[in-house]
Amino acid sequence: MAMTNNKTLCFTCNKEKITFPCKGCSEEFCLIHFTEHQHILSEELNRIIDDYDQFKQKINEQTQNPLNHLLIKEINQWERDSIEIIQQKAQHCRQIVIEYLSTFFNNIEMKFNDLNEQIKQIHQENEFNEINLSYLTNELIEITEELNNSSKIYIQQDSQSFINDISIILSKKSKLNKWKQNAIIVAGENGYGHELNQFNGPYRIFIDENKNIFIADLNNHRIVEWKCNAKEGQIIAGGNKEGNRMDQLNRPTDMIIDPQTHSIIIADYVNRRVIQWMTQDQQILIKNIDCYGLAMDKYGFLYVSDYKKNGVRRWKMGEYDNEGIVVVGGNGIGNQLNQLNCPGFIFVDEDQSVYVSDQNNHRVMKWRKDSEEGIIVAGGNGQGENLNQLSYPQGVIVDDLGRIYMADCWNDRIMRWCEGEEEGEIVVGGNRRGNQLNRPMGLCFDDEENLYVVDYLNHRIQKFEIIL
């Protein structure tokens, strides 16, 4: 009678042995590697305990010494700076008063000496009458009034403060949101293809107030709309194979919905044009531009990233018969603060600051309105997978509190970065052992703050629900 083969493949050595399951990762290990796996887990636990002890020590230090908090130090520095400004202003005013009084008293003294000489002369000559006495009296009154009259110099207090005022803001929405790590596939769960329930390299998404999803389906050369909870999408632009006719697209990378005309504005990447698509009509807005990302601000200005000219240009809505105004970059390829290297997706905030995925520099830049150069708000420490690094970032959005979210494409993760911080944090993804995300490109939030991610090489749109 043949013996029953109860051996399975060890996850580590990939050899057929008697194995033991790990309930945590659901993998099978041989005895040697099961012991090794437990040792690794034990080391990880010890690391967490060490981190806990360090955190406990840090919180104890801050609790016992609140005056050492960074905010207290900032307030103290503001106080010192303000006192110094006040002292400098007071000394300047004192100097003006001293110089004025010196001249003023000299003039009074000269008039008094002159009057004294006249009195002496009259007294010596012993020839005077009521007219002379009246004159001397009036002169003395005039000098006395001039001495007592300070109206020619006085202190004026300006209501416009020359000291920067500070206040403490306690944000009502300071909590950092978290999302479930197991996503729901909301579009394209049927894999790669060109059917209406499939994608071929989705690139960019937009979600309206009804949770309808608009997708730039790159390699199918079309824009698709998926109604909320639908099983398939409907083509609303392109879909007539690749080409440069007015009814065709060639690898659209980005699109936005124009709220004024309810039309779709598309970055028609290979055709080097920005095209406006309406139900029955199409119109080329901008020609001969190596367009990649699009954005529109609250004033209706259209922003386009030009990945070959390494800049972002802006057009006033309806005035596209010019080359636009360069608002970011445009100083050649490079990694200086006034340069970009293949800019990708863009985002414009309420202040018309422009955020750019500076792909080949592995960073996200922020250019304030009318600035000559930008600042690095994420990455900028070379390509890598550390928390202070990015690898070919793509989609970028900024929430109302200025927190920056980006698709860290080649690291297969979504990152959140707060401006001024030295490193970011992983929001979702970053799990290289699975297929949770595979080259994420675009991202978006709905009105409930659920996170939607374009899972490019998995040809699907994933929804990560917010943890309330």
pTM of the model: 0.65
**Whole-number pLDDT of residue 441:** 95
Query: The sheet that has 273-277: what strands, in order across it?
Result: 252-258, 263-268, 273-277, 282-287
Least confident among 130-139, 150-159, 174-183, 419-428: 150-159
The pLDDT score that the predictor gives to residue 1 is 42
Helix (H) or strand (E) holding 386: none
> Tell me, what amino acid is at 273?
R
Q: Is 96 helix (H, G, I), strand (E, B) or coil?
A: helix
Rg (CA), the chain: 37
Name the phi and psi angles at 143, rounded to 5. -65, -40
Neighbours of 204 (CB within 10 A): 27
Give the 3-state secondary structure of residue 165.
Answer: coil
Report the percent of the chain where pLDDT is more than 90: 52
Which pairs count as long-range contacts for 305-309, CB under 8 Å and 24+ apart, including other chains?
A: 305/343, 305/344, 305/345, 305/346, 305/356, 306/343, 307/342, 307/343, 307/344
Query: Per mean pLDDT, which range of 116-130, 182-196, 241-255, 291-305 is the poorest?
Result: 116-130
Please determine, for residue 171, whether its predicted confidence score (pLDDT) is greater than 60. Answer: no
Q: Which range, of 17-26, 338-347, 350-359, averages the lowest pLDDT?
A: 17-26
Residues 6+ apart with CB under 8 A from 5: none
Question: Coil, strand, or helix at residue 186?
Answer: strand
Least confident of 40-44, 158-162, 318-322, 424-428: 158-162
Domain locations along the chain: 8-61, 90-170, 178-467
pLDDT per position as a tens digit, 110-122: 878 887 887 777 7
pLDDT of 173: 46
Q: Which CATH number fits domain 178-467: 2.60.40.1760, 3.40.50.720, 2.120.10.30, 1.10.760.10?
A: 2.120.10.30
